[in-house]
């Protein structure tokens, strides 16, 4: 197993597990220190830093597995790894000291505003400043938008306009039916994306506006031949390493939930910050990768990372959160507030205009960044 993990990664893993053991064995003593603001803030930063370190390592290790295994298994492992972190943190908040019925909605909505406005805006602006207009595959981008409109609309807009349980909450039958429908549609989308329609999500050749089906198949064949073969021993070793990075997030998630709840309550901060924090933890690694892709003139990869991340968030996180609510008898409210609904619609419309052509324009990046600033402003000044 040593040859599959570097010395620096090993040291990071040991340091992370030391933090986990300290918080596990001295949990009562640590909890008693929450009343002291400076110590509470220090503990929060330690837990947050540990979880973010583990999250980065999970994404990195999953990315290695994705490359080794090839499609469709690679993308599936990467997606499941990222979403599992999000679900773990949302569940920790749901089972935290105080009731958090909107944490699932807050997290998903925050992911949308961060990924589709902040990160996409940075990709458009920075990539545009460096290269001018950047090319991408428009049909693939449109399918992402179709999935986002349908899945996010059903999950977060519909609850406010149906009877359900009231207050933006699905009834039991609605929750089960919608969870199944979302999973089925997302699964079909994933199969199409990875198999017959994979060419819609590939970067067009330099100077061309689109990639043909025949060209895509030829590129996939070359890619398959170039992929590194993975042995059973390596697969097992890397899977174990991946689990060793995910477990600290599971074990520390309760501590993070307690500290966030204490901080929000004692400082009278907006409750939406819990969802924003989860979104930042989960999608910071992918966000950095997306911006790097735009700066490398691989804008289609940036789109796949940004839009694909949000589609997977809705397609997998919504059913998981609804299922947890049903099994644990927890209240789950997905209905958005009035201002969130307006921001949701503006984001979708602006994004559709941004990606209706076949080349990017940096001015749309400025618009999306401004919309993200408005989102942050309304958290503190609704």
> Which SS3 state, helix, strand or coil, does residue 347 take?
helix
Using alpha carbons only, how large is the chain's radius of gyration in Å? 21
Comparing C-alpha atoms, which of 127, 130, 147, 157 is closest to residue 368? 127
List per-residue pLDDT tens for the chain, 382 residues long. 556 677 788 888 899 999 999 988 888 888 887 778 888 889 999 999 999 999 888 888 887 877 777 655 666 677 778 888 889 999 999 988 788 899 999 999 999 999 999 999 999 999 999 998 899 888 888 999 999 999 999 999 999 999 888 888 999 999 999 999 999 999 999 888 877 787 888 877 655 444 454 555 554 554 444 445 667 777 788 888 888 888 999 888 888 888 898 888 888 889 899 999 999 988 888 888 889 989 999 898 889 888 888 998 899 999 999 999 999 999 999 999 999 999 999 999 999 999 988 888 899 999 999 999 999 999 999 8
205: left (phi over 0), alpha (psi -120 to 50) or beta: beta
Q: Which has the closest alpha carbon to 318: 196, 197, 177?
A: 177
d(CA 49, CA 55): 10
| CATH code: domain of residue 174 | 1.20.1420.30
HSE-up (13 A, CA, CB side) for residue 104? 31
Residue 110 CA to residue 107 CA, distance in Å, equals 5
Q: Alpha-carbon distance 332 to 167, whole Å?
A: 10
Number of domains in the chain: 1
Name the DSSP class of 269.
-
Residues listed for the chain: 382
Domain, as residue range, for 210: 2-380
Please enumerate in sequence order all residues whose Cβ is within 8 A of that of 310, keeping only pairs 6 or more positions apart, or say none. 111, 112, 115, 116, 148, 152
Q: Vertex 52, ends 46 and 57: CA angle to 5°? A: 130
């Amino acid at each position: 197993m040593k040859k599959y993990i570097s010395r620096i990664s090993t040291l990071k893993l040991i340091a992370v597990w030391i933090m986990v053991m300290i918080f596990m064995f001295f949990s009562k003593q640590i909890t008693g220190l929450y009343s002291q603001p400076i110590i509470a803030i220090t503990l929060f930063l330690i837990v947050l830093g540990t979880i973010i370190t583990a999250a980065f390592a999970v994404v990195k290790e999953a990315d290695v597995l994705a490359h080794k295994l090839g499609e469709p298994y690679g993308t599936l492992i990467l997606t499941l790894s990222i979403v599992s972190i999000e679900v773990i943190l949302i569940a920790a908040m749901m089972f935290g000291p105080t009731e958090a019925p909107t944490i699932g909605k807050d997290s998903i909505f925050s992911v949308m505003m961060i990924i589709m406005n902040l990160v996409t805006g940075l990709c458009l602006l920075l990539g545009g400043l460096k290269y001018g207009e950047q090319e991408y595959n428009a049909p693939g981008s449109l399918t992402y938008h179709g999935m986002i409109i349908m899945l996010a609309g059903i999950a977060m807009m519909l609850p406010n306009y149906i009877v359900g349980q009231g207050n933006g909450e699905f009834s039991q039958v609605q929750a089960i039916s919608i969870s199944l429908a979302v999973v089925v549609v997302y699964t079909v989308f994933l199969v199409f994306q990875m198999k017959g329609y994979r060419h819609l999500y590939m970067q067009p050749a330099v100077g061309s506006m689109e990639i043909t089906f025949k060209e895509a198949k030829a590129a996939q064949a070359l890619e398959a031949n170039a992929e590194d073969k993975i042995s059973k021993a390596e697969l097992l070793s890397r899977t174990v390493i991946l689990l060793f990075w995910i477990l600290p997030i599971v074990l520390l998630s309760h501590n993070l939930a307690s500290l966030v709840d204490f901080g929000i309550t004692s400082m009278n901060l907006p409750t939406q910050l819990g969802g924003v924090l989860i979104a930042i933890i989960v999608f910071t690694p992918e966000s950095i990768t997306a911006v790097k892709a735009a700066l490398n003139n691989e804008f289609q990869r940036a789109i796949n990372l940004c839009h694909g991340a949000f589609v997977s968030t809705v397609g997998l996180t919504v059913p998981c959160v609804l299922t947890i609510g049903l099994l644990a008898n927890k209240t789950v409210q997905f209905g958005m507030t009035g201002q969130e609904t307006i921001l949701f619609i503006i984001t979708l419309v602006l994004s559709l205009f941004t990606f209706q052509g076949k080349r990017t324009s940096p001015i749309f990046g400025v618009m999306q960044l401004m919309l993200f600033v408005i989102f942050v402003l309304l958290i503190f000044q609704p």
